[in-house]
Structure 1
Amino acid sequence: MNNVTRSVAVVDDEVSVGRAIQRLLRSVGIDSEVFTSGEAFLDALAATPPYAPACVVLDIQMPGLNGLEVQHRLGGSGLPCIVITAHDDARVRSQAQAAGAVAYLRKPFDDSALIGAVHGVLGVPPVP
């Protein structure tokens, strides 16, 4: 299998969830960096030199800036967002999709669904 060298940002206030996603991505050769808040992620993007992930896996329910607010601040950046949430709500789903989310996954999600969404963003062909 080809190793993908582009990094994926994982933004989730639950440390255990962020680490689990990081391990899952690593298992298929994808590097990632975990952020426990939307603010920390946005700060990394604004740093010098800026952090430049290929996409972001973004939790909706977080203290401080929630995922929708982070997604709104990313508007126009071209950074693909894969939204994850434990609290599926039709209004929130609609807002995330309207803001350009490339995938919307409800926790607990199927590992292959997340890997497929990330591979889609990175342009990695699906594994048969």
Structure 2
Amino acid sequence: MGSSGQFAVVIDDDESVARAISRLLRAAGIAVDTFTSGTVFLDQILSQPAYRPACVILDVSMPHLDGLEVQRRLGGLSLPIIFITAHDVPEARNKALSAGAIGYLRKPFNTQQLIELVRGVMTA
């Protein structure tokens, strides 16, 4: 995707979930890049300063580097983050929101709510 135009990023270790969310957003007219690893996304964003998504949609539970750690490492970049998770753990929810996440949705989530959150960020 790169630096031209606004786009969202979906990071989920489950490729089928990442694809489904990407299709949903694309159908709503939102450009999307997908990653199945927080590590790969961090490598991309830290090595290419021009690569700046308007919004990051991030799974909480991922191997190697969980979503909360990805959020922590992105702290200085002021990127809006929306968490998605299959396991609504109140401690993780509180940690994510107190660290600045703009949303925390439990799978299966309300698709319209996700689209509205992403559009809200892109029009702000």
**Corresponding residue for residue 72 of structure 2:** 72
Alignment partners' CA distance in 2, 1:7 and 1:16: 20
Q: Would you say 1:12 and 2:21 are equivalent positions?
A: no
1:19-34, aligned counterparts within 5 Å?
A: 19-34=19-34
Q: Give the unaligned 5+ runs of structure 1.
A: none
**Corresponding residue for residue 105 of structure 2:** 105
Residues 99, 49 of structure 1: alpha-carbon distance in 2 compared, 3 angstrom cutoff: closer
Q: Would you say 1:89 and 2:89 are equivalent positions?
A: yes
Deviation of 1:48 after TM superposition, in Å, equals: 3.3
8 A Cα contact 1:44 1:50, kept in partner: no
| Structure 1 runs of 4+ with >4 Å offset | none
Residues 123, 48 of structure 1: alpha-carbon distance in 2 compared, 3 angstrom cutoff: closer
Residues 102, 49 of structure 1: alpha-carbon distance in 2 compared, 3 angstrom cutoff: closer
Compute the TM-score of the two structures, normalised by the length of structure 1. Answer: 0.90
Alignment partners' CA distance in 2, 1:96 and 1:84: 11
Deviation of 1:79 after TM superposition, in Å, equals: 0.4
Alignment partners' CA distance in 2, 1:48 and 1:39: 14
Alignment partners' CA distance in 2, 1:66 and 1:114: 20
**Corresponding residue for residue 116 of structure 2:** 116
Q: Give the unaligned 5+ runs of structure 2.
A: none
**Corresponding residue for residue 51 of structure 1:** 51
Q: Percent identity?
A: 54
Q: Secondary structure at the match of 2:31?
A: strand
Task: Name the count of aligned residue pairs.
Answer: 120
Which structure shows the bigger proportion of residues in helix conformation?
A: 2
Which structure shows the bigger proportion of residues in strand conformation?
A: 1
